[in-house]
Amino acid sequence: MKYNIANIKRINVFYRECGGNDKPVMLLFHGFPSSSHMFRDLMPMLESKFHCIAMDYPGFGNTESPSREEFAYTFDHLAEICDAFIEELKINKFYMYVFDYGAPIGFRIALKHPEKILGIISQNGNVYEEGLGSKWAVRAEYWKNPTAELRESYKSAFAKETVYGQYTYGTEEGSVSPDGYSLDMYYASVIDDYAEKQSDLIFDYQNNVKMYPVFQEYLRTYKPKLLAIWGKDDPSFIWPGAEAFRKDLPDARIVPVNSGHFALENCCREIAENIIEFFGE
């Protein structure tokens, strides 16, 4: 594994990579409240078949976190940085692994550069309204009526007990290491103005939902090879979101794993084996 920094639009972006340059590239797009460290176990399992690259978005992990006055914390803007990162590294074609926030980011890039996409792994990376758990109905009310009080209430998403629950809900007791959620809690404590930046993204998530039909049209038009491998007990992006891919891609492979949201934490080897079987050459 190598750990690097690329200067993208005057932001120092951290990324990790492994696997030979002679292998097809796989870009891994992380979710909330995590960073590229969520792929720390998966990437070595894939490096015999892929050149794996995972970056941290601005405001996450080890990438610089510009102030809200200097940088708009929206999904459009994060996707723009990721797209510039791909250009800087001269990546012409790639597989993409999308999870949680990584799905609307990765699918924006796929819309812009459909010719670059070799295939997609969606691990609890939702692009269908069927996949929105019950909490999203409440958030939809917040998007319609964005009061300061409601914005403040959603900062509970950054609380330690919430992060712990995201990692452990839907998993067998004792199957999830504390490493992942402890590191997320640490980043939340040291990144300047973390709660406000993340609150901006929570509010902007409404624009991802509005783009779901566009993402679905991309699937129907370009028919990328797709594996939806899903922690079946995820309360945020529920199992019907995985099954919904078949509406637009009848040949998609849909695989449930015995986990919740952060399925790599306890089902990493199973996910790696499915990826290699489905995409490996």
Catalytic residue (one of 30, 37, 51, 261):
261
Q: Is 77 an active-site residue?
A: no
Nearest alpha-carbon partner for 222 in 82, 81, 107, 97: 107
* Residues acting as catalytic residues: 261
